[in-house]
Every structure is written in C-alpha cells, then in structure tokens.
Amino acid sequence: MSIYIYYVYAYLRKSDDTPYYIGKGKGNRAFRKHNNVTTPKDKSKIVFLEKNLSEIGALALERRYIRWYGRKDIGTGILHNKTEGGDGVSGLKHTEKTKRTHSEFMMGRPSWNKRLTKETDSRVLSYSQKQINKKYSDETKKKISEAGKGRIPWNKNKTADNDETVKQIAKNLTGKKTSEETKRKQSIAKLGKIPWNKGLSSKTDDRIKSASDKRVETFKKNRKNNQETILARLGEILKI
C-alpha cells in the first residue's frame, strides 16, 4: 500500500478567495465537519494545495502554509487555525528509513509561491496588502511577543565555517547586486516609516547599549589582533 495518500487543503473565503483555514488529511477529510472551523458549503471553496504526500510530508507542508498565511488568534495573519500545524500525529517517532524516504520525495519540490510576486499572483498581492495595512493592538503585540519567547533561531551559533546551509547562503549573497527597480521599491516601502531606534540612545535603551558594547568589544579585539600581527612581523624583520 502506498504511503503517498495524504494532502494539504485550504478553505477559502467567499469575499476574496483568501484562505481562512489550512489542514492536512486523506480520503474525504477536507469535506467533513470540523470542530473548530466551518466547512464551506460551496465545494469550489475547498482547494487542494498539495497532493500525493506521505503523512510526514503533509504535516511539514501544513506547517509551512500556516506560517506563510499566519494565524488570527495570535495576530500574525488571516487563518483561523489554532495551532502551528504539523501536530496530527503527536508523539509519533519516525524511523530513519521513513525520514530518508520523505527527504528524497520532498527534494526539489518547489513551494507553491516560488517566483510569485504581488505583480503576478492575486493571492500574494492580497496577503501583502493586508499585511501592509494591518495595525496591531497592544494586546496582540503582547501575544506575538509571548509566542516568540523561548524559540531558538535556526542559525544561532552557526557560521559559514561550521554549517553548510549558512555557507551556501553566504555564497549565494556574495557579489549579489540589487537592481535599480528593487532599490526603488524598497525606498517606496520605507517612506513614512519611523526607525525603531529614532530618538533612542545607549543611555535610554538597553538594546542600543548592548549593540554599542558589542561594537566596542569587537573593535578592541580587532585592534589587539592587529597589534599582535604587527609585532610578530617586526620580530621576523629584526631576525633577518
């Protein structure tokens, strides 16, 4: 029996066809009643984002889509999902063979929004406009802050010297030049935005003080290394 029987689906709003729920399932799961969200009566509002997946693959993609569109309950987006997804088989431990099979299946599989922009895709445009116009209440900001606490960035303590992914990213960015069109768009996007550190100083804000201290420490370290290099070179010359 094939293990690629799962899919990832979305429920779309009547008003603008944006998704309000992302789920993972098999068989007729997408058309059945859910406890925490209304299943669309109009079947055309039920769309399949990805098909022919293994269960672990479906769970991974479900999480990716939920992160992309964001959740309303924590103020990060437009979905009614109450979790980050990928929790359909809680506690399940996959064998190395299953992980390897899934990795090989997903390798080279492009994301649905790869190379799509606001200019070429209405879904990306709609989401972008909602994000630009969105204003968060103090309570929502607090929820977002609480949700992010304790999360460890994937690249923490990783450098191009000890991690292949970081090394590849650095390689791809080296020598990359931003086009004039991109610069223009970035400039327009920043118009009217107030820098987070405007009016703050190392005396009034701990973040700026910490950054300033790190710069001073780095400068002292580099100066010491340069002095040691110069002295070593002078020693070599004097020996000659």
> Given this model, what pLDDT does residue 240 score?
55
Cα distance between residue 43 and residue 12, in whole Å: 10
Closest CA to 129 of 14, 222, 207, 16: 16
Cα distance between residue 15 and residue 3, in whole Å: 36
> Given this model, what pLDDT does residue 186 score?
82
Domain extent listing, the chain: 1-146, 207-240
Q: How many CB atoms lie within 10 A of CB 67?
A: 16
Q: Per the confidence metrics, is the pTM higher than 0.85?
A: no
Cα distance between residue 221 and residue 227, in whole Å: 10
8 Å CB contact between 25 and 19: no
Point out the residues of the chain with pLDDT beneath 50.
89-91
> Given this model, what pLDDT does residue 91 score?
45
8 Å CB contact between 6 and 27: no
185: DSSP letter: H
Residues of 114-123 as b/e, b for ≥16 C-beta within 10 angstroms? eeeeeeeeeb
Residues of 147-179 as b/e, b for ≥16 C-beta within 10 angstroms? eeeeeeeeeeeeeeeeeeeeeeeeeeeeeeeee
**What is the torsion angle, in degrees rounded to the nearest 10, for the CA atoms of residue 179, residue 183, residue 188 and residue 189?**
100
> Given this model, what pLDDT does residue 48 score?
94
